[in-house]
Amino acid sequence: MSNKHLNTENQSQPSVFKCGAATHVGNVRTSNQDKYGITSNLITVADGMGGHKGGEIAAEIAVTTLISANGFQSINEFAELVQKAHHLIQVRAQENINLDGMGTTLCALSEINTEETSQRIGAVNVGDSRIYLFTNNALHQISVDHSLVQELVDSGKISGIEARSHPHRNVITRSLGHQPMIEVDAWEIDLIVGDRYLLCSDGLTNEISDTKIAEILSTKSDPQKAADQLIQSALESEGLDNVTAIVADVISGKKKRNSSNIQFDVQTLSPEEGEQSTERKPPNALKSLVEKISKIRTT
């Protein structure tokens, strides 16, 4: 693999995960606007967008905001911090005209610790960076892309295969910083020993198929080697974009699921009414929208 702008720095390892991570500028770009973060209880990937290093700054703000957390007692707290990152990106853009319009995707996993249970993890997602779960030798995309092509697929106008080569496949419909307000997908998942998670930017999924991703995750037992191989495979394809991957193996939690189904509720969370004033405040409350989406994955 070319080591051009390759970063495989391992930060502090989460207590429930054994992690490997890597990022690369790709074969075409001159700067890497992807960022990732790993702390003792959280992992996150952000894919920035915007000229004059704006995307890099937006992604850095998002990741830095999340890794500053000391943990969450609810999924709402987790989503609220994403809203805070959105606000901080907007504030920074208002301070520098060259950063106007900058934004970033964001996906993350974190422990959710309550008095009732400490064996669940929370997930949040805005944009088209993805969260995958690899369990029982099967790969499941457990985040939903906020993109134009995903909306076309959901409406039945194009197929999943057509989406991979659609000319507008890079158009996203949600991002931190770029829009006045955002909605955050947030959900909780059982923490099962032996499960493997992948967080990645679209520089990976635009280059290699889910089948190839599953093959690498199944054959590379070490998460760092798996992350490195995922990046290498993207570069050997075309590597047109920045590419980032975190592979996280669950090493602490429940021994097995209560059923053969992977089942969780995805809530789309938005700021409370009244948070939209021109004198913006960091969001301190969230409400669930009327629509609550139930997603079931069978392993």
pLDDT digits (tens, 9 = 90+) for 55-91: 999 999 999 999 999 889 999 999 999 999 999 999 9
Residue 89 lies in a domain: yes
Count of CB atoms situated within 10 Å of the CB of 130: 23
Mean pLDDT of 9-24: 82
Residue 1 lies in a domain: no
150-180 in b/e burial notation, b at 16+ Cβ within 10 A? bebbeeeebeeeebeeeeebeebebbbbbee
Distances (CA, A) of 298 to 145, 192, 261: 20, 15, 5
Residue 9 lies in a domain: no
Q: 252-261: per-residue pLDDT in tens?
A: 988 888 777 7
- Look at residue 286 in the predicted model and tell me its pLDDT: 36
Residue 133 lies in a domain: yes
228 close to 22: Cβ distance less than 8 angstroms: yes
Residue 26 lies in a domain: yes
Using CA atoms, how far apart are residues 98 and 249, in angstroms rounded to an integer? 40
Overall pTM surpassing 0.75 (yes/no): yes
What's the domain count of the chain?
Answer: 1
Residue 253 lies in a domain: yes
101 close to 49: Cβ distance less than 8 angstroms: no
Residue 2 lies in a domain: no
- Look at residue 154 in the predicted model and tell me its pLDDT: 62
Residue 11 lies in a domain: no
* CATH code, domain carrying 126: 3.60.40.10
Using CA atoms, how far apart are residues 172 and 276, in angstroms rounded to an integer? 22
Q: 237-296: per-residue pLDDT in tens?
A: 999 999 999 999 999 988 888 777 787 889 999 876 334 433 333 333 333 332 333 333
**Residue-averaged pLDDT of the chain:** 84
Domain, as residue range, for 158:
17-298
